Chains A and B, each alone.
Chain A
Amino acid sequence: MLEGLQYFGQSFIEFMRPMTIFNALWATQLGIIVGMLPGLTATMGVALMTTLTFKMPASDAVLILMCMYVGAIYGGSRSAILLNIPGTPANAATAVDGHPLAKQGRAGRAIGIATTGSFIGTFVGMILLALFTPLIGNFALEFKSYEFFWLAIFGIVICGNLTAPKDPLKGWIAGFLGLFVATIGMEGIHAHIRFAKPGSQMSGGIALLPAMVGAFGFAEIIGVMKQSAYEVVNTKIERVIPKFSEIWKYKWTILRSGILGTFIGAIPGVGEDIAAWVSYDITKRSSKHPEEFGNGSIEGLISAEAGNNACVAGAMIPVLSLAIPGSAPAAVLLAAMFIHGVRPGPLIMIESPKFVYEVVVMVLLASAAMLILGLSMVRWLVKVLMVPRQKLMPIVFTLCVVGAFAIQGRTFDIGVMVVFGLIGFFLREMDYPMAPLILGIILGDLLDKNLRRSLILSDGGLAPFFNQPIGLVLFIATLLVIFSKMKWFRSLMFSLRQGIVSLFKRKKAG
């Protein structure tokens, strides 16, 4: 604990350079702009920014990406409030109460509340990030091949479940397709080239960044251009800085949403949109005024924003401790860390423990920059929303093309981006989520190596997959996640619960 505080202090002092603060400010501002423009998501922003920063030192690059991530997730609340169109999927819950507030002429107040809620949410997430990453990192040292295999399967299943709540089957299919994509190219044990001609561009495999830029960038551009044009609410923006009493009134809501958001963020691949909806839903259920939700409830707005921004810090917990992303933008951050020679994963607390606390300081800087920038320049930034999509989207697409090309300098990667964009667009039209697909590409290598290693160790036996405690827990958790969406299982659980309750009641009566 004391060692952790020492690392935090050292990192904080090191980051207090004018150039670092300047980087944090411009990257967060750019993130806010990216987030508030419908069609530009946090994932796309972080992916494009990775290509812009890959020649910088690791700490500067990761700081800029972190600021872009935090800024974009917050920035989406602007368009959610003013347009009723969430700038990023993470802000869908924000629109439910933020837009009615704007229509009532309280847009400034809504923006101020959303900003403060986002800041406190990120702050709660940051504290939990500092506390839990070392704990999970140390625990993950116990993981062997069997556990890593189950972790990959569990990640895909739970990500599919939560990102496709209407139809988890489609989430699982997307996840397994992603795992398959990861097997294309040279494998790591015998150096055999799978599903590609030796010597072809594809024999090197499908790179994550072009695939992500395609699935989240190009697919989004096609989707945005297909829809009808949006109109900005013509509202006067009055006082933005909220009163202290207004925030203090909802202290428990913010704290609860922050904790919930962080824990949801720590679940592999789930992301900020789910965090915001869960926080919003739980706040609504426990509220004294649930009837105000959907009609401009401050409590609803603050819970959604605290939840989605806390998720950013939460998503970094599995990135740092297990090298598994908690959300789609965190997946890009993970890839960026590898590009910069940082190796997150179970060994991070042994190899570079200070880096964990550097990330904590980065989150702190990003959230402070977000608070300052979010409460200032509000009127000026609203003008950005006036830019018509037909002028913005071609520029964004040229950035997608350069982004896909820049890392390895291969035109083949532009083709990968285009193919994944088309696949992503058509799959999304049919309700297949993209997050499990991308998580599958990331976890594919982990699954491939660990399934084969496990089978070699057990000489083909399946028993060790089920008789190790951690592996067994992950297997049962995977089954529970799959069954939880099935009607017969839910009715079985309900009758079991009823049975237990009546048993206790009888005992009490006796």
Chain B
Amino acid sequence: MKESNMPKADFLMSVIFMVFGTTIFLISLHMPRFEEFDANPYSVPGIVPGFLGVVIAALGLVLFIRSIIKKGYRWGLTAGGVKDWFRDDGTHRLFITLAFCLVYSLVFIGWLPYPIGTVLFIFGFIVAFEYQKGIPFRKQGKMFLFAGIISVVSGLSIWAVFRFLFLVNLP
């Protein structure tokens, strides 16, 4: 992140931390006190989270004051700036990575047999980053072939090592 954007990020995060800390504190207040069991009042479960909630909210407040001094509340969002961010190569790579990793870990795992899901994920990931627009599909056959070999060999090896050597019941 650019240094000039840091006060804006700090402003947003400070509000989140203050709300988060206060919420923890309020939830802690409503935790059981086990008075019916004659429990020592200083042993109740809410003491430590309550203390941590106060500290997090206080640190958030310090960050908030600092970001206000640095004018972090002036967001200055423009349509052009947002467009530039979406057009940036780094942003594209970020979204492709997130999409593949999230689909693999949260959808494929448990829904598809592990080796199939893993081979598909590795193959898709490599192709997504190596596929070149503008070059005919058939001229990129070598890339597809290598992606296929790498994904099958690595996916099946990881599955076999964990399943048969380390006896992990993979999903």
A contact set with B: CB distance below 8 Å: 51-52, 55, 169-170, 172-173, 176-177, 179-180, 183, 187, 189-190, 192, 194-195, 218, 221-222, 225-228, 390-391, 393-395, 397-399, 401-402, 405-406, 409, 411, 414-415, 417-418, 421-422, 429-431, 447-448, 451-452, 455-456, 459-460
Q: A183-B48, A398-B154, A448-B48 are in contact. List 8 more A-B contacts (CB 8 A).
A: A169-B59, A187-B45, A390-B126, A393-B125, A394-B125, A398-B104, A399-B158, A452-B47
Residue of B with least CB distance to A415: B106
A158 CA / B1 CA spacing, docked (Å): 25
A187–B39 Cα distance when bound, in Å, is 15
Q: Is B84 located at the chain interface by the 8 A CB criterion?
A: no
Q: How many residues of B contact A (CB 8 A)?
A: 67
- Tell me if B93 and A225 are in contact (CB < 8 A): yes
With the chains together, A390 CA to B167 CA distance in Å?
29
Look across to chain A and name the residue whose beta carbon is closest to the beta carbon of B34.
Answer: A190
The 6 closest A-B pairs by CB, nearest first: A455-B42, A390-B129, A394-B125, A225-B97, A192-B45, A394-B122
Interface string of B128-170 (1 = CB under 8 A from A): 0110000000000000000000110011001000100011111
- With A418-B105, A447-B48, A459-B42 known as contacts, the answer to whether A398 contacts B155 (CB < 8 A) is yes
Chain B residue with minimal CB distance to A404?
B105
- A residues within 8 A CB of B154? 395, 398
- In whole angstroms, how far apart are the Cα atoms of A463 and B101 in the complex? 52
Report whether B39 and A452 are in contact in the complex, using a CB–CB cutoff of 8 Å. no
Known: A418-B105, A452-B43. A221 touches B97 (CB 8 A): yes
Would you give the shortest CB distance from A170 to chain B, in whole angstroms?
Answer: 8
Select A451's contact among B24, B48, B89, B91, beta carbons within 8 Å. B48
Q: Which residues of B contact A (CB under 8 A)?
A: 1, 6, 9-10, 13, 17, 24, 27, 31-32, 34, 39-49, 51-53, 55-56, 59-60, 62-63, 66, 89-91, 93-94, 96-98, 100-102, 104-106, 109-110, 118, 121-122, 125-126, 129-130, 150-151, 154-155, 158, 162, 166-171
- Asked if A402 contacts B162 (CB within 8 A), the reply is yes
A430 to B9, CA, bound (A): 7
Residues on the A chain within 8 Å of B10, using CB:
430
A-B pairs with beta carbons under 8 Å apart, 6 shown: A180-B56, A183-B52, A225-B94, A398-B118, A402-B168, A405-B109
Known pairs A394-B125, A414-B109, A430-B9; A226 contacts B49 (CB<8 A): no
Q: How far is the CB of A200 from chain B (nearest CB, A)?
A: 16
A452 to B93, CA, bound (A): 47
Cα A399 to Cα B105 with chains together (Å): 11
Tell me which of A227, A421, A459 contacts B90 (CB under 8 A): A227
Closest chain B residue, CB of each to CB of A173: B59
Contacts of A390 in B (CB 8 A): 125-126, 129-130
In contact, B104 and A222 (Cβ under 8 angstroms) = no
CB neighbours (8 Å) of B89 from chain A are 228
Which residues of A are found within 8 Å of B167, using beta-carbon distances?
55
Give the residues in chain A near B155, CB-CB below 8 Å.
398
Residues of A within 8 A of B121 (CB): 394, 397-398
Q: Which residues of B contact A456 (CB under 8 A)?
A: 40, 42-43
* Complex Cα spacing A117 to B165, Å: 37
Chain A residues within 8 Å of B102, by CB: 418
**Interchain CA distance A429-B104 in the complex, whole Å:** 24
Chain A residues lying within 8 Å of B13, measured Cβ to Cβ, are: 430
Which residue from chain B places its CB closest to the CB of A401 in the assembled complex? B105
Shortest distance between the CB of A442 and any CB in chain B (Å) = 15
**A42 smallest CB distance to B (angstroms):** 21
In the complex the two chains form, is B166's CB within 8 Å of A55's CB? yes
A194-B31, A429-B1, A456-B43 known; A218 and B101 CB under 8 Å? yes
**Nearest-CB residue, chain B, relative to A407:** B168
Compute how far the CA of A176 lies from the CA of B57 in the bound complex, rounded to whole angstroms.
Answer: 10
Contact B168 A460 (CB under 8 A): no
A222 and B148 alpha carbons, distance in the complex (Å): 23
CB-nearest residue of chain B relative to A189?
A: B43
Give complex CA distance A186, B43 in Å.
14
A183 to B24, CA, bound (A): 11
Q: How far is the CB of A455 from chain B (nearest CB, A)?
A: 4
